[in-house]
A and B are shown apart, each in its own frame.
Chain A
Amino acid sequence: MAIQVSGITKRFNDFTALDSIDLEVRSGELLALLGPSGSGKTTLLRIMAGLESPDAGGLLLNGEEALGLKPRDRQVGFVFQHYALFRHMTVFENVAFGLKVRPRGQRLGSAQIRQRVTELLELVQLSPFAGRYPAQLSGGQRQRVALARALAIEPKVLLLDEPFGALDAKVRKELRRWLRKLHDDIHITSVFVTHDQEEALELADRVVVMNQGRIEQIGTPAEVYDHPASAFVYEFLGQVNRFDCTVEGGVAHVGGGALTIPTEGGVQGPAVAYVRPHDLGVTPATAGPGRISGIHVVGPDARIEIDLAGLALEAEMDRERLATLGIVAGDRCAVHIDRARVFAR
């Protein structure tokens, strides 16, 4: 594996940012550290880069103990959240920086540096902008300069801190695809930090979900989405209906018997159930226990708000299905849920 984190702990005064984190990043994979702000994900990334030092634990980069190494000796590429481009240097000079500051013995000749920077600018599709200053670029372009600059030193590992955080939605989506493609082409071991679950699920090979300085779950995007390991992961990844229930013999009773759901997980007694909106079935029924309290159409999808014996639920379906059902706000309906994940209360 490329990075091995073992028992990393970091405190800032009374606040525990990281609580004994163990994590392996495999060679060549694109890994997402996903979590809300304050979950410790950026701190973990900065520790990998050597910008922060942990209070305890170990870190191996390509099998070598790295905690004793300065950032400059770790051979990592780091893309900062706000890019941290050198504002007084042109795009070309920014990308060349890492090559020019090498000790005399290891430094490339200026012609070779020029060639390498030119190649990198082609890679990030910024050749025409070589002479511009960062202030003259758009957010997406700055982001790509930051990436080219990080790649210039031929890092073994690429670390990205909220790489798309400062971009607007459309650019973010384009850049995300572009980065995924870039990673497929150059296969550099990469770790990126994000608080955006959609970004993590779309981009990463594996996702590490973090909360309050701990890892909640590690898995492929499908694993963490379909089989969340904890209530936190359920709530953090995607939309979810959360309601109290009582489980008896593997069956959850909701809203005083208005609904019964088969459960998984072997919990007994008072529990919290989680159901994704698209796993919630709605059928019109004149004497049904539920009432449609609102319908919101967003693009191709429809969100249906249901009042089930005082419990507010949300279902999601495409517009065609909604039209077939022919339900409108105020109708009575029946609700059925094939399966729910429950966690003991």
Chain B
Amino acid sequence: MPADTSISAPASIPVPPAQSALTEPAWVRAALIGGALLFLALFLLLPLVAVFVEALRRGFDAYWTALIEPDAVAAIKLTLIVAAIAVPANLLFGVAASWCVAKFDFRGKNLLITLIDLPFSVSPVISGLIYVLLFGMNGLFGSYLRDMGVQIIFAVPGLVLATVFVTFPFVARELIPLMQEQGSDEEEAALVLGASGWQTFWRVTLPNIKWALLYGVLLCNARAMGEFGAVSVVSGHIRGETNTMPLHVEILYNEYNFVAAFAVASLLAMLALVTLVVKTALEWRFGDELAAARH
């Protein structure tokens, strides 16, 4: 300690209230938060409410009738079928792709990652068009497929293909960063301890990625059911046969059948809401697990 104790804090300088250097004045905070909320209300909440209001404009009976009308039921069924094929397919593709990106080093890895992202950067219409150009009547494999009696475009296989393409990145995108961060130490440990490849996957790899996987599947499902552009190109819009829910909504709307259009749309909106709720719950849960899992 220095012997000189006459140095003391200058008393005349007012001490500012304790606050972080990053804290803005109250009015700036209020304006920013208010602006963001107003924007959300105007552009997201209002349209969402409008969907339900329009759907129920003629009462619940009319709403219900619109939903159980055969074409609507067919559209709902078709949407569920397409999602039921596309989502598990992308679950498998996604896990496989992230596995090889995260656990192996190979030439062309960056190309693979770029390709996985392709559906995000390509317009959905193009995604649909690719399949028309490949499998359509005048497409690359068109005549061959016609000879074989297989119809892909304007039929369920085309819808599934287009949906799989558009929703491909969702699972892989969730898993790749997580699996890269986790590395393969635990897998190596399992192998040295005597586990087989399958045991390692089921007991070590899968439990470590389960929340991210669920999250990816959820997003993938939401998009698979809600996809419009790509399926619109390959569907052919045959009522009761190749119309998914979003396409059915469009047709009804174009026919000025607003109640029915909004009734089907409300189902999709509900799907979005459920997805959001589950996603938030997962994020809460999964964020916690991730934080705890970090070594």
A residues lining the B interface (CB < 8 Å) = 49-51, 70-72, 74, 76-78, 80, 82-88, 97-98, 101-102, 133-136, 142, 149-150, 152-153
Report which of A51, A76, A87, A102 forms a contact with B186, defined as CB distance below 8 A.
A87
Nearest-neighbour CB distance to chain B for A71, whole angstroms, equals: 5
Report which of A74, A78, A101 forms a contact with B203, defined as CB distance below 8 A.
A101
Chain A residues contacting B295 (CB-CB under 8 Å) are 82-83, 85, 87, 134-135, 142
With A72-B191, A87-B208 given, can you name 7 additional A-B contacts, CB distance below 8 Å?
A76-B192, A82-B185, A84-B188, A87-B295, A97-B190, A101-B199, A135-B295
Chain A residues contacting B186 (CB-CB under 8 Å) are 84-87
Report whether A86 and B189 are in contact in the complex, using a CB–CB cutoff of 8 Å.
yes
Known: A86-B204, A133-B292, A134-B295. A101 touches B194 (CB 8 A): yes
Interface size class of B (residues with CB under 8 A): 20 to 34
Report which of A83, A84, A98 forms a contact with B194, defined as CB distance below 8 A.
A98
Report whether A72 and B195 are in contact in the complex, using a CB–CB cutoff of 8 Å.
yes
Report whether B293 and A49 are in contact in the complex, using a CB–CB cutoff of 8 Å.
no
Q: How far is the CA of A76 from the CA of B194 in the complex (A)?
A: 9
Report which of B193, B195, B196, B207 forms a contact with A149, defined as CB distance below 8 A.
B193
Q: How far is the CA of A116 from the CA of B204 in the complex (A)?
A: 22
Specify which of A135, A136, A150, A153 lies most central, judged by the most chain B CB atoms within 10 Å of its CB.
A135
Closest to A135 in B: B292
Nearest-neighbour CB distance to chain B for A306, whole angstroms, equals: 34
Closest to A79 in B: B189
Decide if B58 is an interface residue (CB 8 Å cutoff): no
Nearest-neighbour CB distance to chain A for B290, whole angstroms, equals: 10
Specify which of A70, A101, A153 lies most central, judged by the most chain B CB atoms within 10 Å of its CB.
A101
Report whether A88 and B191 are in contact in the complex, using a CB–CB cutoff of 8 Å.
no
Nearest-neighbour CB distance to chain A for B178, whole angstroms, equals: 12
Report whether A88 and B192 are in contact in the complex, using a CB–CB cutoff of 8 Å.
no
Q: How far is the CA of A51 from the CA of B294 in the complex (A)?
A: 24
Q: How far is the CA of A150 from the CA of B190 in the complex (A)?
A: 10
Chain A residues contacting B193 (CB-CB under 8 Å) are 72, 97-98, 101, 149-150, 152-153
Q: How far is the CA of A101 from the CA of B188 in the complex (A)?
A: 14
Chain B residues contacting A134 (CB-CB under 8 Å) are 295
